[in-house]
Structure 1
Amino acid sequence: MAVCTRYGAEPAMNPSRLWPTLLLISLLGACAGKPVPDWQINAKDATERASNAYLAGNTRVADQEFLFARNEVARTGRIDLLARVELTRCAAQVASLVMDACTAFEKLRQDAPAAERAYADYLAGRIQPQDIGLLPAQHRTVANASPEGAAATLQSIDDPLSRLVAAGVLLQSKRASPGVLNEAVKTASAQGWRRPLLAWLGVQAMRAEQAGDNEEAQRLRRKMALVEGQASNQEQE
């Protein structure tokens, strides 16, 4: 059985069963009460702050905190952990429907573990059937979900951010039913995550317009204006 040493050696873990945002946190969780290196604590805290700032719509703080987390992990020479930091950032982007390439991870892909490569492919909507087993359990069900069962699959995911990431993947793969959109909006709203909330409301409004339901589209646009107005007020304070 793996144990934590006085120098904070990380516990044994199965990366395929953990969602990347929690991977750095897991380094500390199994060693509760044991001394750990400063870089682990710093990287964990910075990654959490970065994700929260990004989802709240504070890009400047998110960039600063992700850079700090990367620097803390990079000084260990651990490519696997650095890859997880980059995937954490890309996962938050997918949750917010920012479907840019995960370029920072791609620079590490050649030396990254198989589970991290599989998760990156999942985020990009190109997971291969033979790699689905490498994903965290909740995302394996999403990867295999049919369009008809996608909303129910989403509701079974307990972690709010994992749920939004899964919703983003479903949208990329054209399996996002109205139920998926509703669940994503509800999740982002409950957490107060402005960036993904605006993105998902925008998708709902666009679909309403495409369906000729202008009244519903206008209602959704008014809700978006409310959220955007709150963001503007906070920036002025």
Structure 2
Amino acid sequence: MNTHLIKPAALVVAAGLLAACSSGPRAPDWQFEAKGSMDRSVAAYMEGNSRVEMAELERARGQLTRSGRADLLATAELLHCATRVASLVLDEPCAGFEKLRPDATEAQRAYADYLKGRVAPQGIALLPESQRAAAAGNAGALAGITDPLSKLVAAGVLLQTGKASPAVIRQAIDTASAQGWRRPLLAWLGAELRLAEQGGNTAEAERLRRRIELTQNTPAAVKP
């Protein structure tokens, strides 16, 4: 997660993360608090704790609305939706952002469309550079992405557009596993399991079922 603070004049959507320039005068406390709440919200969701995720999201929303700026709140809503794509929750509408769409920036609207796998060709140039290859359907798009959440988002977009190769799925699994992100790990293991079953690879399917069971077998495991 980017550790810089939100600065309204420089706010951008960059790989679905809150990012900003930290130079200049100290940012107001509400910006620190909003950034911290969004960081905790993302972490909680990826770990499988929906209750904490939503509580922190509401705190962030409360802080951001103090600015009276739809574009700031839209960034938080896009980050919220990006975690869903990273975890293969692909049928959930990005309702929070859609309410703000008329007052969001053009780049934010393009990013929202990208998350649904339907960004227009002219919108690709408005996306964070790390996501443009995935938006264009390039299955090798993950190779140049270093940020874990950005990589999982790109993989999720490739999957929903039918462009995710088995290698993309394996990279997503490895990324989620390395971060200890239980929720997306289970989702991507499930995707690989379906491939193994479809291909008649019984031994691989059994191995994946054991790994899924191991991942679920913790006190804080994500409920189906």
Q: TM-score, normalised by structure 1?
A: 0.87
107, 129, 132: which one pairs with 1:137? 129
Q: 2:136 corresponds to which letter in structure 1?
A: N
Q: Determine which of 38, 45, 48 is the counterpart of 1:47.
A: 38
Once residues 11 and 67 of structure 2 are traced to their aligned partners in structure 1, the CA distance between those partners, rounded to angstroms, is 20
Instruction: Find the aligned partners of 1:164 and 1:144 in 2 and give their Cα distance.
Output: 16
Does 1:211 find its partner at 2:199? yes
Q: What letter is aligned with 2:23?
A: A
1:130-159 per-residue CA deviation (whole Å, 9 max, x = no partner) reads: 11110000111211243xxx1x32021010
1-structure distance, mates of 2:189, 2:108? 30
CA distance in 1, matches of 2:35, 2:165: 35
The one of 2, 7, 12 aligned to 1:10: 7
1:14, distance to aligned residue in structure 2 (A): 7.1
Asked whether the 8 Å contact 2:158–2:164 carries over to 1, the reply is: yes
Structure-2 residue corresponding to 1:189: 177
Residue matched to 1:202: 190
In structure 2, what is the equivalent of residue 126 of structure 1? 118
Q: How does 1:1-237 map to 2 (within 5 A)?
A: 10=7, 12-13=9-10, 15=12, 18-23=14-19, 26=20, 29-31=22-24, 34-99=25-90, 100-146=92-138, 150=139, 152-232=140-220
Q: In structure 2, what residue type is equivalent to 1:77?
A: G
Partner letter of residue 118 of structure 1? A
Tell me the distance in 1 between the aligned counterparts of 2:147 and 2:29.
27
Distance 1:13 1:129, change over 3 A: same
Deviation, 1:19, is 2.6
Higher Cα radius of gyration = 1
- Percent identity of the aligned residues? 50
Amino acid at match of 2:207: R
Contact 2:49–2:222 (Cα < 8 Å) also in 1: no
| Partner amino acid, structure 1, of 2:210 | R
How far, CA to CA, are the matches of 1:206 and 1:218 in structure 2?
11
**RMSD across aligned positions (CA):** 2.0
Contiguous gaps of at least 5 residues in structure 1: 1-7
Aligned in 2, Cα 1:196/1:234: closer, same or farther, shift over 3 Å?
closer
